[in-house]
Structure 1
Amino acid sequence: MMSADGSKQVMARVGPGKSDRGSETRELLLVTAERLFAEHGVEAVSNRQVSEAAGQSNNFAVGYHFGSKEDLVVAIMRRHSESIERRRTEMLAQVTGSPDLRDWVSCLVRPTTEHLASLGSPSWYARFVAQVMTHPSYRKRVVDEAYTSRSLQQGHEGMFRLVPRLPEEVRQERNDLGRLMLVHMCAERERALQEGTALPHSTWESTAAGLVDAIVGLWLAPVTARR
């Protein structure tokens, strides 16, 4: 039995050929795990529960296809990262050499918001990321994974060339704050879209514009003298 979580659509694509069955099962497990982790938190959901919710008779299906829960979390991230990476690479090609801080911050914000917009509603990816980022060990693995992206490195390099010189601890703090803004504002919009509640912005595009404004302001804000 499938709920309206995207799993049914995955099952509908399963063909009779045995050669495709493994990849279809893997995709179904990814979709189901993403939804459950987004709704309940990564720690609260076991691999067995993911397998059961995905309609798998083998309760060890997750372990068979992915290994550990941490490996499953990384696989979900990678399922979305190709689209985000492609969008960021295209944006970076358009802003090469730009002296405008807003252009570089946009390259860090808009690839994610555009990808989320492409998923339609309901979606669970933004809330999944927010849940993962509150988990100490999974957070480190996911952040380390993200920073292997050459386009993300290029975006940060371009941004840091234009921000004022800051003490290292302030720079790290503002980098963390910018990431938290992006992660949690996207998660809040995704949740509101599913629940049909009021939104501060009418579209993902306007959400991105607000985030770019806020993050640019964050980097340009003065630093209070510290003893």
Structure 2
Amino acid sequence: MPPENVSTSTRRRHTTGEATRELLMTSAERLFASHGVEGVTLREIQIQAGQSNSSVIAYHFGSKAGLVRALIAFRYKTIDARRTELLEEARAANNISDPRTAVWLIVRPLVESIESGEMFVPFLAKLNENPRSHGEYWPRQLEDTTVDVLNQIPLEVVADMPDRVRRGREVQLYNSVLHMLGDHARRQHHISEARLSNYVDGWVGMLTAPVSATTSSLLETDATVPRTHHRSMESHRD
């Protein structure tokens, strides 16, 4: 076979292989979005993707966990690129310190993913319910990249809050965004800009609400309780 034919054949196989990988990932994404990772078998993904080879997932990803990690990396490449683009636009407009802008930087790429027909957001919402998600399924190399992008969003309104409150607010925000948007995606309900803007109003309020005197007092009290006492209480609850 002439060298040019060998090269063409290799490219064709590579293209076919990449198409199969993407088909398996998008098929798995839809199933995971409805049933969660643990609720879907490799056989169901294979059938959903229209593949007859029972070893196709093992060949391309090694395991279900490998498939989940590949899917997250595949989708986040676009999401992080879009978030970086919006971040630069906010910097150019000199409104990056506005908390509403900060929330939009988190929300807009996810909304665009839903509008393109992807089921990645409801998949993430389901995955977020799984306590093993970060340890078993989250790509290590992606975590550093995503955290780097999010760390560039200056949330000055929470900067002076106690670390425990700030971390809690950020987790609340992320969970609420995923579950609200994910629910719309599962139901295939279009999110109008008016409704989305209202959601963002609520998320900004969630993020920026003043820390109450009651919470501050409880945090101070909690900080004085020895860690051994915390562990003892936790063991009793178990």
TM-score bin (small chain): 0.7 to 0.9
1:176 to partner: Cα distance: 0.7
Which residue identity does 1:41 align to in structure 2?
G
Which residue identity does 1:114 align to in structure 2?
E
- In 2, Cα distance between equivalents of 1:89 and 1:33: 27
Q: Which stretch has the larger CA shift, 26-35 or 142-151?
A: 142-151
Matched residue SS, 2:138: helix
Equivalences, count:
199
- Does structure 1 residue 111 correspond to structure 2 residue 109? yes
Which residue identity does 1:109 align to in structure 2?
V
Q: Which residue of 1 aligns with 2:226?
A: none
> 1:93-112 maps to which residues of 2 (within 5 A)?
93-96=88-91, 97-98=94-95, 99-112=97-110
- Does structure 1 residue 154 correspond to structure 2 residue 152? yes
Matched residue SS, 1:187: helix
Identity of aligned residues (%): 34
Matched residue SS, 1:163: helix
The answer to whether the 8 Å contact 2:73/2:139 transfers is no
1:100 to partner: Cα distance: 1.7
- In 2, Cα distance between equivalents of 1:146 and 1:113: 21
- Does structure 1 residue 218 correspond to structure 2 residue 206? yes
Matched residue SS, 2:62: coil
- In 2, Cα distance between equivalents of 1:62 and 1:210: 41
- In 1, Cα distance between equivalents of 2:183 and 2:71: 20
1:221–1:143 CA distance, 2 compared to 1 (3 A)? farther
1:101 to partner: Cα distance: 1.7
1:162–1:114 CA distance, 2 compared to 1 (3 A)? same
- In 2, Cα distance between equivalents of 1:129 and 1:113: 13
Q: Which residue of 2 aligns with 1:142?
A: 138
Which of 58, 66, 70 in structure 1 is aligned with 2:61? Answer: 66
- In 1, Cα distance between equivalents of 2:172 and 2:70: 26
Deviations 1:94-148 (A, max 9, x none): 222534221122112112112322x13xx42222111111112224443863452
Question: What runs of 5+ residues in structure 2 fail to find an aligned partner?
Answer: 1-11, 222-238
Q: Which residue of 1 aligns with 2:165?
A: 170
TM-score for both structures, normalised by structure 1: 0.77
Which residue identity does 1:108 align to in structure 2?
I
Q: Compare CA radii of gyration and give the structure with the larger one.
A: 2
- In 1, Cα distance between equivalents of 2:139 and 2:171: 11
- Does structure 1 residue 27 correspond to structure 2 residue 22? yes
- In 2, Cα distance between equivalents of 1:83 and 1:34: 16
Q: Which residue of 2 aligns with 1:46?
A: 41
The answer to whether the 8 Å contact 1:92/1:107 transfers is yes
Q: Which residue of 1 aligns with 2:80?
A: 85
- In 2, Cα distance between equivalents of 1:179 and 1:216: 12
1:188 to partner: Cα distance: 0.9
Which residue identity does 1:217 align to in structure 2?
G
The answer to whether the 8 Å contact 1:32/1:53 transfers is yes
Please report the RMSD computed on the Cα atoms of aligned residues, expressed in angstroms: 2.4
1:207 to partner: Cα distance: 4.5
Question: What runs of 5+ residues in structure 1 fail to find an aligned partner?
Answer: 1-16
1:178 to partner: Cα distance: 0.3
Q: Which stretch has the larger CA shift, 217-226 or 61-70?
A: 217-226
